[in-house]
Amino acid sequence: MRRLLPETPDVTDLTSLAGLAEAYAYPDQPWLRANMVSSLDGASRLDGLSDGLSSEGDKRIFGVLRALADVVLVGAQTVRDEGYRPARARAEFAEARAARGQQPAAAIAIVTRSLDLDLELPLFTEPLVPTLVITCAGAPADALEATRKVADVVVAGEEQVDLPAAVAALAGRGWTRLLTEGGPRLLGQLAAAGLLDELCVTLAPLLASGDAPRITHGPDALTQRMDLVSLLEEKGFLFARYARSVSSRT
């Protein structure tokens, strides 16, 4: 893996997990980062799954971003489609996580209003860190009761999930290094709510066509200026980091 931007000399060894962790270090402030993959023509999935657009380098970065995060936000549809499993502890990051007071692995936090979840999934039966379910007061009462038995439930909002309230609730637990892996609908909602600080996107050298959604999806158009922070390359795949433009933070 090689660095294309910034052009200033950098001694970081991007072939190592430690070097990637340095390259993707969180700033010293509450920060919500997204990590997504896209085809050249904007598709977020290939044959219904994001894995078809991935690569070895993408998977390394995926693992590093999880290892740096306190919690991973994900939509219920993505949990169902992608067969989500709990985050695992990584020996390479154990010392650094302990020094920062982090749990052995990132918690998975599922955002869902309907609570249409398979509670027999490993996410609920064998997590290293208890799985969170973020829902709203208007969620089905029976499903809410069942979910409370196997997960840590956060109620944010009345009839719909209030994402700013959800993020504030996570920060109240001391979880300020947030990562979302989508899907597109959740990422679109987070961006529309003004909560997205950074987008890490892997651009796969593939054309996908078809009717797959873009990496952000929602009913309303959105314009949010993002500044390019860094750009890496490996085997034709581009790994870009964009941060919220300074002008849009004021």
What are the tens digits of pLDDT across the range 78-124?
Answer: 999 888 899 999 999 999 999 999 999 999 999 999 999 999 999 99
Instruction: Provide the whole-model pTM.
Output: 0.93
Percent pLDDT > 70 in the chain is 96
Q: Is the pLDDT at 1 greater than 50, yes or no?
A: yes
pLDDT at 11: 56
* Block residue for tokens 């869902």: 112
Distance (Å, whole) CA 184 – CA 36: 9
- Averaged pLDDT, 11-37: 91
Distance (Å, whole) CA 84 – CA 102: 22
The DSSP element (H or E) to which 111 belongs, if any, is strand 107-111
| Cα-based angle 110, 213, 183 (whole degrees, multiple of 5) | 15
Structure tokens at 22: 């340095």
Q: What is the pLDDT of residues 181-197, one digit of tens each?
A: 988 999 999 999 999 99
* Residue 62 near residue 92 (C-beta atoms within 8 A): no
Q: Is the pLDDT at 250 greater than 80, yes or no?
A: no
* Residue 213 near residue 184 (C-beta atoms within 8 A): yes
Q: Is the pLDDT at 233 greater than 50, yes or no?
A: yes
Distance (Å, whole) CA 107 – CA 86: 8
The DSSP element (H or E) to which 63 belongs, if any, is helix 56-68
- Averaged pLDDT, 127-144: 97
Domains of the chain: 30-207+225-248 (3.40.430.10)
Give the CA diameter of the chain: 58
Q: Is the pLDDT at 42 greater than 80, yes or no?
A: yes
Taking the CB of residue 186, how many other CB atoms lie within 10 A of it? 26
pLDDT at 160: 95
Q: What is the pLDDT of residues 50-79, one digit of tens each?
A: 888 999 999 999 999 999 999 999 999 999
> Distance of CA 37 to CAs 46, 66, 68, 179, Å?
10, 15, 19, 14
Distance (Å, whole) CA 28 – CA 68: 13
- At 30, the pLDDT band (50, 70, 90 cuts) reads very high
- Averaged pLDDT, 204-223: 87
* Residue 232 near residue 2 (C-beta atoms within 8 A): yes
- At 222, the pLDDT band (50, 70, 90 cuts) reads confident
pLDDT at 111: 97
* Residue 167 near residue 191 (C-beta atoms within 8 A): no
Q: Is the pLDDT at 180 greater than 90, yes or no?
A: yes
Q: Is the pLDDT at 248 greater than 80, yes or no?
A: no
pLDDT at 9: 59
Q: What is the mean pLDDT of the chain?
A: 93
